[in-house]
Structure 1
Amino acid sequence: MGRTRTKVKKSTPIVTNTLQSSSNSQTPAISALLEKAQDLIIQCDFPLAHKFIERVLARDDGSVNEKNQAKEMMGVVLLETGEVDEARELFLTLLPPHLMAPSPPPPSAHLYLAQLSADPHTALQHYQAAIDILQTQLKGKAPSPIQEDEREGEDEAKSNIVRAYIGMVELWMDPEYDLCFDPSASSTCDSLLSTALQIDPHNLEALQSLASVRLSQEKPEEALAALRTFPPSSTDTPPAHNQALVATLPLPVRLVRAKLLLECGAYHDALDVLEGILASDDTSVEGWYLMGWGWWLVAERRKEGGEVEGSVGLTWEDIARDSRDCLETCRTVGLPHSYVPLQAFSRDPDAPILEHVQELLGTLDALGILPSPVEDDEEGNGEDWEDLSDDEDVEMS
């Protein structure tokens, strides 16, 4: 689903109190232009943000920090509008031309360049450079009573350091690069994540990255322990409290969490997370796929005589039928993909999911597992039938 863009009325002049009070002249302060550009980026109004940033870069009265901030914002705008090469070149201009530069570049420039680098070794260098700058900034703060804005700045710096360590781990684990075949890859990832978790022991991204590394090391129990470290809780914390915290996480983060829980064999926990995901977005192709795959795994364990929390009293056929219903819905939600050209479909990120769904449905057909029958509403009338027809078509597809 696309991000909602805030509409700006053309008839309404864009004026802020900061602009009005910046000076007696009609020229707005650069800080006000930057603040407005930042607001527009948050609203995903990138074309208008681009215009405000251009005004800053065209001015001669801005400080070095203000110019660097404008360049960084412009780089973000270029990235969001698909101009990746231009964004990379702009971020490179933020780096000092030599090692003895009077002031270090913004760490965010290194973070963006690390994400844009095609060479993993160059990306690792950028991540490490960002970490070094951020750590120097934190150490350079004079001891004093911490104000609220200073605390937020420190928290943001620590969060960026943790993200940089996670980015390095992802590079070491990525099968597209040779780094993952290095004999030191496993121990390097352990060291990087240990350092990240010393900075923030309950950082969700770091814990999920640790779980992924533990799974690659064939240590599912330790992977599950890492996942269950978040949310931080005590023995007195009710399960509903933790479920509510997980439900506030962004959808992509919850999808990763569900996949990792399934790989750890924590099917009940994974299905709980997936129920929340589909309650938030019932058009998620990956959400329906993982739900169907989760029930498939539960059915297999049940067929082998095993027990899974939440499946007591159900036969493996019952559970397999639930799996089929979810997979059918996944295929239906993904139906628009079948109308695009084959070449475009092969590039679609959902294509591998839908191919696996077709394989699973074929296996269920061979096992004689049919979709759940549609239940008629005995008290309904023709209008009710019309209102529900779309939903029933999904189930019957």
Structure 2
Amino acid sequence: MGRTRTKTKKGTVLSTKVSAVEESQSEPSVGALLEKAQSLVVECDYDLAGRFARRILEREPNSVEGKELLGVIQLETGDLDAAKMTFESLLPPRAGAPLTPPPSAHLYLAQLCDDPHSALEHYQAAVDILNSQLKGKERATDPLVTADDEKELRQSIVRALIGMVEIWMDPSYDLCFDPAAEKNCEDLLNLALQTDPSNTEALQSLASVRLSQQRPDDAKACLEQAWTQWKDLEPDDVSLPPISSRLSLVRLFLELSLFEPALLVLQGVMAVDDQEVEAWYLQGWCFFLMAEQAQESGGKLDELAWEELARDSRDCLETCQLSHVNQDHPDKPLLEHVHELIGKLEALGIQPSPEDGDDEDANGWEDVEGSEDSDEDVEMS
């Protein structure tokens, strides 16, 4: 009987090992599941990505990467309350949270907060974690391995600091009326530029502050410094700032009546995505402002009649309006402004160009730029 029991025990152990091997062979690793889910997010297949994220968390309930991914998916699908709970689950002292939470959790929560003070606290927490990680990279002995990581950390720190500046400047919050608001913005932007001196988003944010301080020349200098770094790059260059940042630059250009560089930036954006609703809006708004200036200057601006500029404005705004509806774009105030501008152009007797058009460029690029080489040295004057 003893020999039989021993045999059975060995057989049980062997059977268990075989079952484990078969299970490991049939079940993909958590790393593989994570990689697949991330690729599905890139493809905007959020439903399937969510299934993979939940599968990861069934196997590893405290997986930081799995929770981060699930939170992002919930954000993308508009389930903001669930996303907030998911990111909060990554913060101590919640059960299963890591000792040091990922900075992304604080960054997302800062954007999900209704209370500006809580948002500032989350941004500051993210900056503290990122700075700690940056110091670790700076102490690393292999610069080839850490150079890209260090650059990414610096950019993340700057984005968080700019997020704090935007909260202080937001007129919908009482913080913008705080006597300390201006100094706090200055300090935050100085810290951002110390972290990454050539960061274009920080320079643009500083330009925005200078505009609010009625210092247009200083704002113009900041914008020129930011734009010079990338204006000669090809439209598909990976070094270009994100489209959202470039569109923010255009808005600042328009505030300073710098129409030509604004149109050149928009030309680059549309070379990449000619369905970008805000780009069409800003292009129409730019031509509208140029038409107004032409009227005030005797009917012409740089040899262009105000009627030509007004027609170009209407063409762009009509395209924006159509794209806005087709894409079910969420920015309703933008569409309202488009309707307002089209109404003003209609009252002036400006009609859209015929659909067939003529040999003239419908968007007025050739007229505005003057020649193929005119974008080499545009003066911001």
Q: Secondary structure at the match of 2:308?
A: helix
Which amino acid in 2 is paired with 1:355? E
Contact map agreement 2:107 2:160 (CA 8 A) in 1 = yes
TM-score (norm 2): 0.76
- C-alpha distance in 2 between matches for 1:307 and 1:247: 40
| Counterpart in the other structure of 2:285 | 293
- C-alpha distance in 1 between matches for 2:278 and 2:323: 10
Q: CA deviation at 1:207?
A: 2.0
Contact map agreement 2:84 2:109 (CA 8 A) in 1 = yes
Q: CA deviation at 1:92?
A: 1.3
Contact map agreement 2:193 2:202 (CA 8 A) in 1 = yes
Which amino acid in 1 is paired with 2:263? L
| 1:247-266 correspondence runs (5 A) | 248-266=240-258
Contact map agreement 1:41 1:49 (CA 8 A) in 2 = yes
Which amino acid in 2 is paired with 1:80? E
| 1:1-397 correspondence runs (5 A) | 25-59=25-59, 67-97=63-93, 103-141=99-137, 143-233=139-229, 240-241=232-233, 248-305=240-297, 311-334=301-324, 349-372=330-353
RMSD over aligned CA atoms reads 3.5
Contact map agreement 2:216 2:256 (CA 8 A) in 1 = yes
Cα deviation code 1:194-230 (max 9, x no counterpart): 1111111222222222222222222222222222222
Q: Which has the larger radius of gyration?
A: 2
**Runs of 5+ consecutive residues of structure 2 not aligned to the other structure:** 1-20, 363-381
- C-alpha distance in 2 between matches for 1:38 and 1:187: 41
Q: CA deviation at 1:306?
A: 8.2
Contact map agreement 2:130 2:153 (CA 8 A) in 1 = yes
Distance 1:323 1:33, change over 3 A: closer
- C-alpha distance in 1 between matches for 2:238 and 2:27: 47
- C-alpha distance in 2 between matches for 1:231 and 1:376: 34
Distance 1:147 1:46, change over 3 A: farther
Contact map agreement 2:236 2:272 (CA 8 A) in 1 = no
Cα deviation code 1:140-184 (max 9, x no counterpart): 457343254422222222221111101111111112211111111
Cα deviation code 1:8-50 (max 9, x no counterpart): xxxxxxxxxxxxx9x9754443333333333333333323332
Distance 1:306 1:179, change over 3 A: farther
Contact map agreement 1:57 1:70 (CA 8 A) in 2 = yes
Distance 1:246 1:267, change over 3 A: farther
- C-alpha distance in 2 between matches for 1:37 and 1:362: 47
Q: CA deviation at 1:132?
A: 1.0
- C-alpha distance in 2 between matches for 1:361 and 1:142: 54
Which amino acid in 2 is paired with 1:221? D
Q: CA deviation at 1:370?
A: 4.6
- C-alpha distance in 2 between matches for 1:40 and 1:102: 26
Contact map agreement 2:266 2:279 (CA 8 A) in 1 = yes
Amino-acid identity (%): 51
Q: Secondary structure at the match of 1:229?
A: helix
Contact map agreement 1:127 1:167 (CA 8 A) in 2 = yes
Contact map agreement 1:221 1:264 (CA 8 A) in 2 = no
Which amino acid in 2 is paired with 1:359? E
